Amino acid sequence: MYRKILVPVDASPCSVKGLAEALQLASALNARVLLLHVVNELLSDAVLAPTEYRQELIESIRAAGKETLADAHNLAKAQGVQAEDKLIETIGGRASDCIVDAAKSWGADLIVMGTHGRRGMSRLAMGSDAEQVVRSAPVPVLLVRGQIDL
């Protein structure tokens, strides 16, 4: 029986579908959820953002992550699901590694996450955090497909 479900969220339509499925499952099983958002500060690298704006960009990305977590937490609360939330900040780390590490440290029984379902060249170019989580997770992973990108 699943008692602790980790749910990565990023406000994308795929993530929202994954969250909805996780909350439905958690409600049915009387399980707790950990809502997880990963902020990658590499996006604010000096090459991508001029130095004078770097800190503002990091704060903006962090604030968006906190808002995403708050929205997800409110959805969980509205459905009567006990939820915790966690914001992880990394510099250049893979979101998939952060997800797997959080699942291990929190003692998750299941990871539920949305996936874009990319195939072909877009999968090669973009990579797949979901695929990496499936390959390295210490617990079962339920992937909820969003739209299919061909």
Q: What confidence tens digit (pLDDT) does each residue in 37-72 have?
A: 999 866 545 455 556 677 788 888 899 999 999 999
Whole-angstrom distance, CA of residue 86 vs CA of residue 99:
11
The residue whose two tokens read 């998750």 is 108
Q: What type of residue is 80?
A: G
pLDDT of residue 72: 98
Compute the Cα dihedral for 103, 107, 109, 112 and give only its sign. negative
For 90-100, what is the mean pLDDT? 91
**Cα–Cα dist 13/149, whole Å:** 13
Q: What was the pLDDT predicted at 145?
A: 87
Residue-wise pLDDT for 110-149, tens only, equals 999 998 755 544 444 335 889 999 999 999 999 998 765 5
Q: What are the phi and psi torsion angles at 144 (to 5°)?
A: -110, 115
CATH number for domain 4-145, candidates 3.60.20.10, 3.40.50.300, 3.40.640.10, 3.40.50.620: 3.40.50.620
Residue 58: predicted pLDDT: 82
Q: Please state, in angstroms and as integers, the Cα–Cα distance from residue 65 to each residue in 3, 4, 37, 51, 149, following that order.
A: 25, 22, 6, 22, 25
User: By C-alpha distance, which of 127, 5, 118, 130 is closest to 72?
Assistant: 5
Residue boundaries of the structural domains of the chain: 4-145
Question: 29 Cβ partners below 8 Å, 6+ apart?
Answer: 1, 2, 3
Residue 66 and residue 150: Cα distance in Å, rounded? 31
Asked whether residue 93 carries a pLDDT value surpassing 90, the answer given is: no
pLDDT of 92 > 60? The answer is yes
As beta bridge partners, residue 40 has: 90
CB-based contact 56:43 (threshold 8 Å) = no
